[in-house]
Chains A and B, each alone.
Chain A
Amino acid sequence: MRVMLVDDSKTMRNIQKNILTTLGIEEMEEACDGQDALSKVVAFKPDLLLVDWNMPNMDGLTFVREIRKSGNRTPVIMVTTEAEKERVVEAIRAGVNNYVVKPFTPDALSDRINETMAKAA
């Protein structure tokens, strides 16, 4: 399975990479914002996207809207500090498949990944 991590924080990307490694996922690509992710997503062809919301240059929600407009249906899990119900609804409407609120435990992220991929199968 190929996973792209989109987060402006290298620390957070490393934490997520470690969790993905424990799940046996080895093929990963990183992007530091939505713009960077847009430039990499077509070539990398991820099976799953983990996307932060608040990022410079292009935020996560705008990135999700852009890829959905292009017809990309790759499952997206938003991994973000935005915890308000209205924000979750906004994300789902934009095309996000699942949601993890920071801070998160490794188990919480793992469960969301498994849940998302099971639904996508």
Chain B
Amino acid sequence: MDAGDIMPFIASAKTVFQTMLATDITPGRPSACPLVPSFANDVSGIIGLSGDVVGMVVLSFPGSTAEKVVETFAGAAMPIDSPDFSDAVGELVNMISGAAKAKLEGRTVSISCPSVVVGHGHKVQQPSDSLCMYIPFDSPMGRFGIEVALKESAAQSKPASEAA
């Protein structure tokens, strides 16, 4: 795995926001995790990856950004602690992860059903043995971030002589 494997997640986030929210988002400079973000996470959508690549994708927002993003995506304002709000965030991280995994060349990857965490200032811990990159984004609705942790699965990592 290398930092180039993160690029599909940047591209797919831009595509999802442009297609489903008619909104242009601007990626900032990716940096390695762990990172202290410039905003407190209030809402995070989390998806697991499995198959040739294992890992986790976390889409995180401060509360004010999350509310505006969800209202634009779902077409209606909703309380941040409501199931429908979490559903919308989950669907966003689902689409971003799904579109990105298709671009992980030559690798078969499945994604889990999404989970959503709501709570001021929470931190989602990424696996320590994975390549982890944080990508900040700017948008008309506010700032948010995507953390991507990836590693080759154990079967993919074995030399051919061992794998046979």
State the A residues within 8 Å of B (CB).
Answer: 8-12, 14-15, 18, 54-56, 80-84, 86, 101-105
Contact = CB atoms under 8 A, between A and B. Distances in A.
Contacts of A83: 98-99, 102
A11 B87 contact: yes
Contacts, number: 53
B40 interface: no
Contacts of A18: 75
A11 B98 contact: no
Given A11-B88, A83-B98, A84-B102, A103 B75 contact: no
A9 to B, nearest CB: 4
Interface residues on B, range: 20 to 34
Interface stretch (B14-22, B31-39, B59-67, B130-138): B14-22
Nearest to A81: B98
A102 B20 CA distance: 9
Contacts of A81: 94-95, 97-99, 111
A12 B90 CA distance: 11
A10 B95 CA distance: 14
B32 to A, nearest CB: 27
A68 B19 CA distance: 32
Interface in B63-89: 73-75, 84, 87-88
A83 B108 CA distance: 11
A14 B71 CA distance: 13
Given A81-B111, A83-B102, A14 B75 contact: yes
B19 A11 contact: no
